[in-house]
Amino acid sequence: MARWGRSTRASTERGRSAAVKLLNARGAASESLVERFHREMSVAASLDAPNIVRVFEVSKPDAPVPYIAMELLRGSDLASRLRKEPRLPLDELAVMVDQVARGLEVARARGVVHRDLKPHNLFLHDNALWKILDFGVAKVMDSEGTLTGEGIVGTPQYMAPEQASGGHVTHLADVYALGAIAYRCLTGRSPFKGKDLAELVYQVVHTPPIRPSMLGIPPALDDVLAVAMAKDPRRRFPSAQSFAQAFVAARRGNQPLVLEVPPSAWTG
């Protein structure tokens, strides 16, 4: 099996402070895991944007212990924040959605899908800048803009239906995940809760979540989240940026676009 070891602070050859993570790879499959590690970390290293954690250095393929040196961050991730405060203030959430969408747009331009966007992977650096972490399960889209194979990867509570069912995955899966995270931050609860993994995945694929406005959220945001979290990816916003623009506009009381809300988007 493979997993991250502890993270330590170090300096790169250029004198930059960095967080260094070591990969523990053991067992018969360790060689293939190390190859996968280098392939996927090279994807992360190719993304240079303020809202994506910077990768300074990746170990050479023949290094005794694989490692990655990343930008040293100060602050905490969204999951830690939500454990203290069940809901995020709407103004702050609008900033987070906008900044994370900017990072996702850079990834999309490079043909990269994150595939595991969740509160643990969103970090507020210096109390000012949201950054996307862990492109470790990211993949590069093919010429048709889709991803297939390699099983189901991601976190079910924020996983797009097509991803949960093992289907074709595009950048629209990241749009869905950002919408699901916004839903969680607004309502104080995950969109879906099952007694086990099978029930949870079934709900993600087939069951509409509770309408946000029934949980104390401004009704203007219902339609925006319904489009972002549409079961059918073709009904979602075409990009994270367009979702963020609609979210911010609805927060301000503006509705410049006519949104085509999917039928039966919500329960209630």
Residues known to be catalytic: 116
Torsion of CA 111, 112, 118, 123, to 10 degrees: -100
Q: How many Å apart are CA 122 and CA 231, to the nearest integer?
A: 23
Nearest-Å Rg of the Cα atoms of the chain is 19
Six token digits for residue 156: 């079910």
Residue 153 token pair: 């990867």
CA separation for the pair 177, 183 (Å, rounded):
10
DSSP, collapsed to helix, strand or coil, labels residue 176 as helix
CB neighbour class for 49 (10 Å; exposed up to 12, middle 13-18, buried from 19): middle
